[in-house]
């Protein structure tokens, strides 16, 4: 059964750069989280493409990426971030994603100057600017939201955000 959800677009947050960037990022976060909602096991973790990409793995991966860039936590293996363990559920990974994005938003809200260095785990080279991190996370989340759109449509025909 195909279901089309109306896409309202990102919020109009005003002219302040940080608020605009965060508005777009939050919109994309909500979009990808919505793609795993109501998807039953095992479909939520079943790869839809030969690379192994699956809906639950995308949520797990984006959680780790947010922790790396906003909270300064290391990523030991990008490949493992895309593979949910058997014990990891939609509810547990979505709760972790939402908690992580809330913590990330607290960090972002504290940023008054986007030209300054962003947090970075020790030993990872020079840190990028805060502006670069925000734009990169918008790009990363958007790309994976597109993947999630396709995977969800393959599962049950649902389209839209």
Which pLDDT does position 3 carry in this prediction?
53
CB 64 within 8 A of CB 81: yes
CATH of domain 12-160: 1.20.120.450
**Cα-Cα-Cα-Cα dihedral of 140, 22, 135, 103, to 10°?**
-60
**60-84 per-position pLDDT tens digit:** 999 999 999 999 888 877 677 889 9
Which pLDDT does position 8 carry in this prediction?
64
Return the DSSP state at 129: B
Alpha helices in the chain (DSSP H): 17-36, 55-71, 78-81, 90-110, 130-156
CB 24 within 8 A of CB 14: no
Which pLDDT does position 118 carry in this prediction?
92
Which pLDDT does position 74 carry in this prediction?
86
**98-155 per-position pLDDT tens digit:** 999 999 999 999 999 999 999 887 677 888 999 999 999 999 999 999 999 999 999 9
pLDDT band at 5 (very low <50, low <70, confident <90, very high): low
Which pLDDT does position 120 carry in this prediction?
80
Q: Following DSSP, what letter does each residue of 87-125 receive, concatenated?
A: T--HHHHHHHHHHHHHHHHHHHHH-S-TTSBPP--TTS-
């Amino acid at each position: 059964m195909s279901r089309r959800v109306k896409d309202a677009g990102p919020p109009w947050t005003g002219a302040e750069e940080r608020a605009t960037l965060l508005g777009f990022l939050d919109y994309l976060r909500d979009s990808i989280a919505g793609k795993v909602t109501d998807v039953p096991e095992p479909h939520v973790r079943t790869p839809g493409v030969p690379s192994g990409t699956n809906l639950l793995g995308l949520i797990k991966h984006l959680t780790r990426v947010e922790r790396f860039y906003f909270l300064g936590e290391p990523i030991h293996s990008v490949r493992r971030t895309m593979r949910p363990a058997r014990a990891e559920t939609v509810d547990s990974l979505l709760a972790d994603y939402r908690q992580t994005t809330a913590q990330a938003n607290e960090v972002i809200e504290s940023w008054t100057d986007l030209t300054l260095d962003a947090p970075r785990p020790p030993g990872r080279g020079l840190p990028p600017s805060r502006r670069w991190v925000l734009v990169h996370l918008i790009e990363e989340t958007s790309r994976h939201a597109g993947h999630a759109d396709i995977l969800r449509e393959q599962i049950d025909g649902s389209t839209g955000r």
